[in-house]
Amino acid sequence: MQTPRQTHKYFEVNMADVDLMCNSKSCLKLLKKSAWVTSCSHIFCDEDGMRELMSANSDCKCPVCGAALSHSSDIVKVELNPTEHFKSMVLTGLSPEIVMDIMNRSFSFWTYQTSLTRKHQEGVIKSYKEKLSKLESSYESLVAKIRQEVHVLRKKVEEMEKERQELLSRLDDSARKLSERNRENQKLHNACNAIRIANLNSVDSNEPPAESNFTSFGPKTMNDLLPRRTVSQPHIMPPPMNFTPRNNAETHRVSSAIRRKPPTLNATGFRFNPVTPQVPPTAVNFTSFMTPKAPRVEQ
């Protein structure tokens, strides 16, 4: 069984753990210095006490429970942190029975206020729990939606990976076929070059040998002194080739090689390239060759 001193210490410890708050529903702030207390066991802060209690007329009522506060002792302003002098003088001269009665009433008031505080805190906790449950449900639905989207995206990624593998295999097949065709094309190109070279060599072997340009020097007859006419004669075409080109590019290369060959024969059947510079016919004086010169008489 606890002694009165131990009981007082127990209540002192528990009371110190609880803070009183204003009973006005629009305020509910913690009380630290002073407060207004009513006979119906309600407490208010300075602002609400001055506005709700002291500004009213003789028919003042409690703003919480509506109890009539007609006596002057029904509303009391108290200091929540009294001085040591006040503590030593407030109950001085009172009998222990009165002091115990006052203490019991004070405990009842404090117990009621702590119950109000607990109810208020329970209401706050309940509202927070409801908000938390709503948030949890919303987050669970959001998480489920995200998981579903992730599942769909994974399927898409798998499909895209399969498509990528198929494209890679097709690319490898195309590269292999392209390399084979390049090898075949190179073989055909080499064969065409060999045929072209063989045909060009056959054309060169069919040409008659050109006569020497150094058999004679200078003009031999009078006709050689006259201006020579240039006889235009088409180029001698080589014999037809025994192969058919594969494409237009091969035909162009063969025809270009044939056109680059210089003309071989002129109108007289040989190619004449004069070694000494030729004199124009107008500069030749034929009388100098026909008239004999007079002998020079020495004096």
221: number of Cβ within 10 Å = 7
User: In this structure, are 136 and 176 located in the same domain?
Assistant: yes
How many domains does the chain divide into?
Answer: 2
Instruction: Tell me whether residue 177 is in a domain.
Output: yes
Better pLDDT: 296 or 124: 124
Residue 184 clears pLDDT 50, i.e. is over it = yes
Buried b (16+ CB within 10 A) or exposed e, 113-133: bbebbeeeeeeeeeeeeeeee
CA distances from 251 to 131, 245, 258 (A): 88, 6, 11
265: number of Cβ within 10 Å = 15
User: In this structure, are 63 and 133 located in the same domain?
Assistant: no
User: In this structure, are 79 and 114 located in the same domain?
Assistant: no
Reduce the secondary structure of the chain to three states and give it as a string: CCCHHHHHHHHHHHHHHCCCECCCCCCCCECCCEEEEECCCCEECHHHHHHHHHCCCCCCECCCCCCECCCHHHEEEEECCCCHHHHHHCCCCCCHHHHHHHHHHHHHHHHHHHHHHHHHHHHHHHHHHHHHHHHHHHHHHHHHHHHHHHHHHHHHHHHHHHHHHHHHHHHHHHHHHHHHHHHHHHHHHHHHHHHHHHHHHHHHHHCCCCCCCCCCCCCCCHHHHCCCCCCCCCCCCCCCCCCCCCCHHHHHHHHHHHHCCCCCCCCCCCCCCCCCCCCCHHHCCCHHHHCCCCCCCCC
CATH number for the domain harbouring residue 15: 3.30.40.10
Averaged confidence pLDDT in the chain = 76
Render pLDDT for 197-208 as a digit per residue (tens, 0 to 9).
Answer: 988 888 766 655
User: Where does the pLDDT of residue 4 fall: very low under 50, low under 70, confident under 90, or very high at 90 and above?
Assistant: very low
Of the candidates 50, 74, 90, which is a domain's last residue? 90
pLDDT reported for residue 37: 92
Residue 212 clears pLDDT 70, i.e. is over it = no
Instruction: Tell me whether residue 18 is in a domain.
Output: yes
Domain range enclosing 21:
1-90
Render pLDDT for 230-283 as a digit per residue (tens, 0 to 9).
Answer: 444 444 555 555 545 555 666 667 667 666 655 554 444 545 455 555 545 544
Q: Which of 81-95, 96-110, 196-210, 214-228 has the lowest mean pLDDT?
A: 214-228
User: In this structure, are 163 and 176 located in the same domain?
Assistant: yes
Cβ atoms 74, 39 nearer than 8 A: yes
User: In this structure, are 51 and 63 located in the same domain?
Assistant: yes
Q: What is the widest separation between alpha-carbon atoms in the chain?
A: 197
Of the candidates 161, 183, 203, which is a domain's last residue? 203
Tell me the one-letter amino acid at 173.
Answer: D
Two structure tokens written together for 19: 């803070």
Tell me the one-letter amino acid at 10.
Answer: Y
Residues 6+ apart with CB under 8 A from 66: none
pLDDT reported for residue 112: 92
User: In this structure, are 57 and 121 located in the same domain?
Assistant: no
Residue 12 clears pLDDT 50, i.e. is over it = no
pLDDT reported for residue 11: 44
Render pLDDT for 66-84 as a digit per residue (tens, 0 to 9).
Answer: 888 888 888 899 988 889 9
User: In this structure, are 30 and 56 located in the same domain?
Assistant: yes
Residue 141 clears pLDDT 70, i.e. is over it = yes
Better pLDDT: 58 or 169: 169
Better pLDDT: 266 or 143: 143
Of the candidates 90, 122, 146, which is a domain's last residue? 90
Better pLDDT: 46 or 298: 46
Instruction: Tell me whether residue 299 is in a domain.
Output: no
Instruction: Tell me whether residue 238 is in a domain.
Output: no
Integer Cα distance of 84 and 94 in angstroms: 18
Integer Cα distance of 295 and 99 in angstroms: 189
Residue length of the chain:
299
Instruction: Tell me whether residue 288 is in a domain.
Output: no
Integer Cα distance of 131 and 137 in angstroms: 10
Residue 117 clears pLDDT 50, i.e. is over it = yes
User: In this structure, are 188 and 126 located in the same domain?
Assistant: yes
Residue 17 clears pLDDT 70, i.e. is over it = no
- pLDDT mean over 6-18: 50
Better pLDDT: 166 or 253: 166
Instruction: Tell me whether residue 184 is in a domain.
Output: yes
Render pLDDT for 119-130 as a digit per residue (tens, 0 to 9).
Answer: 888 999 999 999
Better pLDDT: 181 or 227: 181
Residues 6+ apart with CB under 8 A from 123: none
Q: Please report, rounded to a whole number, the percentage of residues in the chain having pLDDT higher than 90.
A: 34
User: In this structure, are 136 and 155 located in the same domain?
Assistant: yes
pLDDT reported for residue 224: 56
User: In this structure, are 72 and 125 located in the same domain?
Assistant: no
